[in-house]
């Protein structure tokens, strides 16, 4: 084989190999993820420019505009940002919002076979994370010594330390939830009883660990998404009714149990009392005050915002000095809300551009009856309300890849139907 043929083979296969390696991102720290993404971008863009140009001519630029316009609004906002260096750091970190849709829509097609491999590796990685954190957080000994307290304790993960590889409870919980949905879909599709039982067993493990992590927003989303997905996947009426009955009984048990037992950070008080005396601040926690500060600042500059990168400087100062809100973690906090982050940086144009992505892709998923795509978009839409997944590369990569992959699938289906 000639050297040219060898190089050609490497450049052709490299993006697919790198996608497989990126599937283990739940186990990797930020530096390793960044290196893999950079190499993936290089092989997928530089060596496939001809393919990209041809597909842009064939498909048009509209799919790319829809899925990355908000990113370019953020780039534009650097022009008037008082913290241009910080803004440039964010732009570099978020480049996946442009390059991932560019690559998956125009350059690299992911086959069903490759996707199965990637999904299997992703789930296996999350199982390893569960085992690793079970050991590091002494969950087994806690369960033996104080079983009633396991679901009441917040097992805080020190972000940035080597031991936890940049893990964050909310991100780990979201990965678990996505794994659960994938496994539910698999359990319904497989005819192999042993594999179905194994899938259900792993679902239970992820569910328990998700509760232990005690990320309130992900728990609430899970309580809605998992039963809904199961209900919609069931074919017969009797099983649908049985699912509703189990859900009603579970809620009743939760209400009764909460009268005498504290159930995690979400149910510190009895459920009935929380419903009758609803308090958003109690539910959202420290994020409520931070978002209150954010909204007050945004109200002063709603049209174009303050420019990318300035939030991390202005928000803590405003909360500390003007609102007199003290919190030991605030110096590392942003709005903890994707929509507020976009408003803060790029104002109304940034939020509208992102809402265009969401509404368009919801419509695409609904039109093609893609239940998984609809559900995942719904999960992200609500999760974005209490966590800014656009400041950590883990969240950026997860959303950019899932959204672009499913969008690619819809485009391929449309192409075949023509």
Q: Is the pLDDT of residue 351 over 60?
A: yes
Cα separation, 202 vs 207, whole angstroms: 9
- The token pair at 352 is 């509208």
Judge contact between 177 and 222, C-beta under 8 A. Answer: yes
With contact defined as beta carbons under 8 Å apart, do 48 and 332 qualify?
A: no
How confident is residue 278, by pLDDT bands cut at 50, 70 and 90?
low
Q: How far apart are CA 128 and CA 172, in angstroms?
A: 12
Q: What is the pLDDT of residue 133?
A: 85
Q: Average the pLDDT over 236-260 and give the result.
A: 77
**Is-contact 264 152, C-beta < 8 A?**
yes
**pLDDT score recorded for residue 241:** 85
pLDDT of residue 243: 80
pLDDT greater than 60 at residue 46: yes
| Residue 184 pLDDT level (bands cut at 50, 70, 90) | very high
The more confident residue out of 1 and 260 is 260
In angstroms, the CA 102 to CA 313 distance is 32
In 90-154, DSSP assigns E strands to none
Contacts of 313 (CB under 8 A, 6+ apart): 82, 83, 86
State both tokens at 186. 């698999």
| Residue 308: both structure tokens together | 């990318």
pLDDT at 162: 46
> Is the predicted pLDDT of residue 37 greater than 50, yes or no?
yes
pLDDT band of residue 159 (cuts 50, 70, 90) is: very low
**Nearby residues of 418 by Cβ (< 8 Å), 6 or more positions away:** none
- The whole-number pLDDT of residue 364 equals 93
Amino acid 29: pLDDT: 84
Q: Which two tokens stand for residue 227?
A: 């039963």
Specify the pLDDT at position 19.
95
Q: Which long-range contacts (CB under 8 A, 24 or more apart) does 92-97 make?
A: 93/391, 93/393, 93/396, 94/390, 94/396, 95/41, 96/37, 96/393, 96/396, 96/397, 96/400, 96/401, 97/67, 97/68, 97/70, 97/71, 97/396, 97/400
The chain-wide mean pLDDT, for the chain, equals 84
Contact of 363 with 369, CB cutoff 8 Å = no
Residue 4 has pLDDT above 80, yes or no: no
Q: Considering only 50-54, 85-89, 293-297, which range has the smallest mean pLDDT?
A: 293-297
- In three-state secondary structure terms, 110 is coil
CB 338 within 8 A of CB 389: yes
Model pLDDT, residue 415: 63
Res 376: pLDDT = 96
Lowest mean pLDDT, pick from 14-23, 37-46, 313-322, 326-335: 326-335
* Better-scored residue on pLDDT, 263 or 37: 37
Q: CA angle, 21 as apex, 74 and 172 as ends, to 5°? A: 65
Indicate the SS3 state at residue 387: coil
24 to 18, 36, 120: CA distances (angstroms):
10, 11, 10
pLDDT higher than 80, residue 82: yes
DSSP label at residue 267: B
Q: Tell me which long-range contacts 371-375 makes (C-beta under 8 A, separation of at least 24).
A: 371/229, 371/232, 371/233, 372/181, 372/185, 372/406, 373/406, 373/409, 373/410, 375/181, 375/225, 375/228, 375/229
Q: With bands split at pLDDT 50, 70 and 90, how would you rate the model's confidence at 332? A: low
Q: Is the dihedral of CA 157, 160, 161, 167 positive or negative?
A: positive
**Cα separation of 354 and 362, whole Å?**
12
């Amino acid at each position: 084989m000639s050297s040219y043929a060898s190089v050609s083979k490497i450049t052709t296969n490299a993006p697919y190999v790198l996608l497989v390696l990126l599937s283990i991102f739940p186990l990797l720290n930020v530096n390793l993820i960044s290196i893999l993404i950079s190499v993936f971008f290089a092989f997928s863009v530089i060596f496939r420019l001809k393919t990209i140009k041809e597909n842009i001519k064939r498909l048009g630029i509209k799919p790319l505009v829809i899925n990355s316009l908000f990113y370019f609004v953020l780039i534009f906002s650097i022009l008037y940002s008082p913290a241009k260096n910080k803004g440039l750091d964010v732009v570099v970190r978020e480049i996946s919002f442009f390059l991932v849709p560019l690559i998956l829509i125009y350059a690299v097609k992911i086959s069903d076979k490759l996707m199965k491999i990637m999904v299997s590796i992703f789930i296996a990685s999350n199982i390893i994370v569960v085992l690793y954190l079970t050991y590091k957080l002494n969950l087994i000994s806690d369960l033996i010594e104080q079983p009633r307290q396991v679901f009441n304790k917040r097992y805080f993960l020190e972000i940035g330390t080597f031991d936890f590889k940049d893990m964050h409870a909310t991100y780990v919980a979201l990965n678990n939830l996505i794994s659960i949905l994938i496994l539910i879909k698999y359990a319904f599709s497989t005819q192999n009883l042993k594999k179905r039982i194994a899938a259900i067993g792993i679902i239970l493990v992820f569910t328990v660990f998700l509760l232990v992590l005690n990320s309130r927003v992900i728990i609430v989303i899970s309580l809605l998404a998992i039963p809904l997905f199961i209900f919609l996947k069931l074919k017969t009426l009797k099983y649908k009714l049985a699912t509703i009955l189990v859900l009603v009984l579970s809620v009743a048990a939760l209400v009764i149990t909460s009268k005498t037992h504290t159930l995690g950070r979400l149910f510190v008080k009895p459920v009935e009392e929380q419903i009758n005396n609803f308090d958003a601040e109690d539910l959202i926690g420290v994020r409520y005050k931070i978002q209150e500060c954010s909204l007050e600042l945004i109200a002063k500059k709603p049209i174009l915002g303050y420019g990318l990168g300035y939030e991390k400087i202005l928000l803590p100062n405003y909360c500390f000095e003007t609102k007199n809100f003290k919190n030991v973690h605030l110096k590392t906090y942003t709005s903890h809300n994707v929509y507020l982050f976009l408003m803060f940086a790029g104002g109304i144009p940034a939020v509208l551009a992102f809402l265009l992505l969401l509404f368009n892709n919801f419509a695409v998923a609904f039109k093609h009856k893609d239940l998984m795509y609809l559900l995942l978009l719904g999960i992200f839409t609500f999760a974005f309300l209490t966590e800014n997944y656009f400041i950590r590369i883990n969240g950026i990569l997860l959303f950019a890849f899932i959204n672009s992959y499913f969008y690619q699938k819809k485009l391929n289906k449309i192409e075949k139907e023509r």
